[in-house]
Amino acid sequence: MDLKPAYLIAGSDWPKVDQAIGRLRGRFPEESVEQLTVAGEGDGDIVAVCNALDLLGGPRLVLVRGVEALDAERTAAVCAYLADPTPGTCLALFGGAGIDAKGKLATAVAAAGDVRFFDAPDRKQAVDWVVRRFAELDVRCPPEVARRLVERAGEDLGDLALEVEKVATFAGGEPPAADDVDALVPAATDIKPWEITDAWGRRDAAAMIALAVADIDRPDEVSRLVATLSAHVRKVRRAAAVVDAGGGSAEVAKQLKVKPFPAQKLVGQAQRFELRELGDAIVRLAELDVAVKGGSRLDSRFELELALAEIAGA
């Protein structure tokens, strides 16, 4: 398929938006890709970058994140450019929620190239998505089990994808049961950043471990702590995705439905980790949850200390 001069890919379903970014970038050599972020680090004149001469020759990609933050003046400039785009240059505009599908930017991109919106599902759609995702892994998931998974993990597709893969692996090709979900999927809890999560956010493994093990005597206490940590790291991962797309603490507060101060703390912690590290931390905490529920012969506190050291980057 030939590349088009312009793309607009946006929506609240950030896993799909991220996948689209990866697919498009994969069609260009790394040295032919130039990235900009609206109202953030790497901000620049989009039109000037598109019109700049390419010294290397060949097609080039100008990838712009956070386009929902474009003001009226810059939107008008981009729309004017799209009426006569530079040959050999592909302008890819990416953003989160808040972009008008019938607005000036979407209309101008549609005339020159392609527009796609990916919106996160509601609760019923999330259940249907879980059933389909299990089917893609060759596992039949009963609707009531999918519903239970959504109830525990929430409706964020990134979290659901991780949990579906974990449960499907555990089920070994057989239809999973609600008990499997309860045993493997930590309940998503709306928590505030506590001292332990603050220590993790500072990447202070020693303080985090000292705080975490201070009052733990039984495996079930480790399980509760794992659920708390998992919910918090997931929030930071979602905040990091918003920041990576060009959003700030106000957009984090809006998308995660938290107050301004917790949103600022989430952004501060997100900036200390790479997206890959946060995804790895979620997986590591899931492994810890299985270990302390009978999946390991090691002492639960020792398993906890090992995992905390890893997710803090020690």
Q: Which domains does the chain have, with CATH numbers?
A: 6-117 (3.40.50.300), 123-184 (1.10.8.60), 195-311 (1.20.272.10)
Strand (E) positions, 181-276? none
Share of the chain above pLDDT 90, in %: 36
Name residue, tokens 């600022």. 264
Residues 61-92 have pLDDT tens digits of 999 988 888 888 999 999 999 999 999 999 99
Query: Model's pTM, two decimal places?
Result: 0.48
Q: What is the pLDDT of residue 57?
A: 66
Torsions phi, psi of 62, nearest 5?
A: -105, 110
Please report which residue ranges of the chain form alpha helices under DSSP H.
14-25, 46-51, 72-82, 104-112, 123-136, 143-153, 157-171, 178-184, 195-201, 205-213, 219-244, 249-256, 260-270, 275-290, 300-311
Cα distances (angstroms) measured from residue 114 to each of 3, 79, 106, 277: 10, 14, 9, 32
Comparing 101-105, 137-141, 254-258, which segment has the lowest mean pLDDT?
254-258
Helix (H, G, I), strand (E, B) or coil at 262: helix
Among candidates 108, 109, 4, 98, which has minimal Cα distance to 59?
4
